[in-house]
Amino acid sequence: MRLVVPLQGVFRGRGGILLGSLIPCALFYFLQLYLKRQHSDESSRVPPSPPPFGVEVSSLANSLAKSDESPYDIGLDRVARDSYDRINNPNGMIDLSSSESKLCLDLIAKWVSENMKKSIVGDDDFTLSVNGIATFQPFDGLQELKMAISSFMSEVMGGMVKLDPSNMVLTSGATPATEILSFCLANQGDAFLVPTPYYPGFDKDVKWRAKVNLIPVHCQSKDNFALSITNLEKAFSQAEKDQVKVRGIVFSNPANPVGNLLTRDMLKRLVHFAEKKNIHIIADEVLARSVYESDKFVSIAEVLDSEGLNKNQVHIIYGLSKDLSLAGFRVGVIYSSNNTVVAAARKLSRFSPLSAPTQRLLISMLSDRKFIQEYFESNQKRMRQVRHELETGLSSLGIKCAKINAGFYCWADMRGLLRRTHSEEPELELWNKFIDVSKINIIPGSACHCHEPGWFGICFSALTSENIPVIIERIKKVVETCKSSF
């Protein structure tokens, strides 16, 4: 009141008492606003608190450290925490998502047990042999192994192609091979066209460090998910409208996970498309020898040779994880006739070299023509048998699969188990039922960028005939749960 009364006295006459009351209130309000802003300015000048674990890390590290919400990775995490074992954990999670072949590990184990010591250290002077495996070796692979893999790949491709070892760079798996080619062929922010459904790992291999984008080229179930040049043209044109630089096409042949094959004619048209658009081709052929039906695999290298096409724009990825069941050996191959790409890839291979003992063992294994032939024959027979048994079991539950010729998956049509088929959500709900009800991890089509909800990838190449009844019985629980809720 001591502040208000004197001011009231200043305003004599009409409205004086009212003004004398409002002005001090307004002054008090503006004073508080001023003090509040001053306090805010001071706080903004205070340096930010350090992160809880000390100094800051890079934005890349922060991005990668975040939990991955892809169903593909979530499922694998669930399997790792509660993995099935027929004796010790019969109610555990069964993984049918990983593209890994275990059908002929008995043959691999037998060969390794009989030949490992001789292959790695040899029969000659032990000291000299150790020098060959304990010292530094070329990052891009031993010449002897390149020669052995060249011969092996030529055989895989039907003997129709002779590959030059000097055009080859070896890496610790097909994953770094894909990443290295991404660095060599595109700049950050550029893009590759990729036919769908595609291997979920491409999203990591191409995007994480090389920062190259992937543009899905959607294929239709009515065409058995076959690639068309028309769809490629549409995707390329849309990228141009969006001002995205397309630097290449990435595809798997045989397709992973669907399992169909690209024809000679389609491969030729793809090369012409790449020439027309002045872009590259990355052909992932890691499943080239995992064909078990009458259709013949045709390598893009064979098409380039027979048609006399430009080789500088085509780069092939191969590995021994699929066709030879050596996923743990981590063997990848880049094959390119582009001298600049090969030179750059050799330098980048320093970050993903093969160990010398692994290379020595493989030189011996790949040179054993009798073993390789027996392995291929047995593997093809076992793959055909297990896939047939699984598809028969699925069919008994009303689940049909796409017609496939190669690869490790049954591409199963479960659209009939969805309440709705126009969005991704019902598909993920069904996938969660497989995880929670049947304790089976399979790949939802959305994880492979399939734009038709209801398709799932079920890997059969790690199964045996005795596992399949267990798998079918578990899937049956989900089918019955879905049908009872309709």
Model confidence pLDDT, tens digit, residues 259-317: 999 999 999 999 999 999 999 999 999 999 999 877 789 999 999 988 888 899 999 99
**Where does the pLDDT of residue 124 fall: very low under 50, low under 70, confident under 90, or very high at 90 and above?**
low
**Where does the pLDDT of residue 367 fall: very low under 50, low under 70, confident under 90, or very high at 90 and above?**
very high
Task: Compute the residue count for the chain.
Answer: 486
The letter for the amino acid at 195 is P
Residue 484: its pLDDT value, please? 78
> Could you tell me the pTM of the whole model?
0.85
If you average pLDDT over residues 467-477, what whole number do you get? 95
Model confidence pLDDT, tens digit, residues 191-209: 999 999 999 999 999 999 9
- Is the pLDDT at 346 greater than 90? The verdict is yes
Q: Do the Cβ atoms of 440 and 418 come closer than 8 Å?
A: no
Residue 120: its pLDDT value, please? 75
If you average pLDDT over residues 409-425, what whole number do you get? 89
**What is the C-alpha to C-alpha distance for residues 407 and 292, in angstroms, rounded to an integer?**
8
Q: What kind and span of H or E run contains 412?
A: strand 409-413
Residue 24: its pLDDT value, please? 52
CA 123 vs CA 126, 129, 136, 143, 429: distances in Å: 8, 9, 22, 21, 59
The letter for the amino acid at 311 is K
- Which letter does DSSP use for residue 83 in this model? B
**Where does the pLDDT of residue 229 fall: very low under 50, low under 70, confident under 90, or very high at 90 and above?**
very high
- Domain range summary for the chain, segments of one domain joined by +: 67-104+372-485, 135-369
Residue 66: its pLDDT value, please? 81
User: Candidates 1.10.3720.10, 3.40.1480.10, 3.40.630.10, 3.40.640.10; correct CATH number of 135-369?
Assistant: 3.40.640.10
- Is the pLDDT at 420 greater than 80? The verdict is no
Average pLDDT, the chain: 88
Residue 3: its pLDDT value, please? 43
Model confidence pLDDT, tens digit, residues 92-106: 999 999 989 999 999
**Nearest 10 degrees: Cα torsion 323, 326, 331, 334:** 10
- Is the pLDDT at 469 greater than 60? The verdict is yes
**What is the C-alpha to C-alpha distance for residues 113 and 279, in angstroms, rounded to an integer?**
46
* β-bridge mates for residue 457, sequence order: 411, 443
Residue 119: its pLDDT value, please? 79
**Three-class SS state of 134:** helix
Asked if 67-104+372-485 and 135-369 have one fold, the answer is no
Q: Which numeric CATH code is attached to 67-104+372-485?
A: 3.90.1150.10
* Helix, strand and coil in the chain, % to nearest 5: 50, 15, 35
Spell out the long-range contacts of 224-230 with Cβ–Cβ below 8 A and sequence spacing 24 or more.
Answer: 224/258, 224/260, 224/402, 224/403, 225/196, 225/197, 225/255, 225/258, 225/260, 225/402, 225/411, 225/450, 226/260, 226/266, 227/195, 227/251, 227/262, 227/266, 227/270, 229/269, 229/270, 229/273
Could you tell me the strand order of the sheet in which 443-444 lies? 400-401, 409-413, 455-459, 443-444
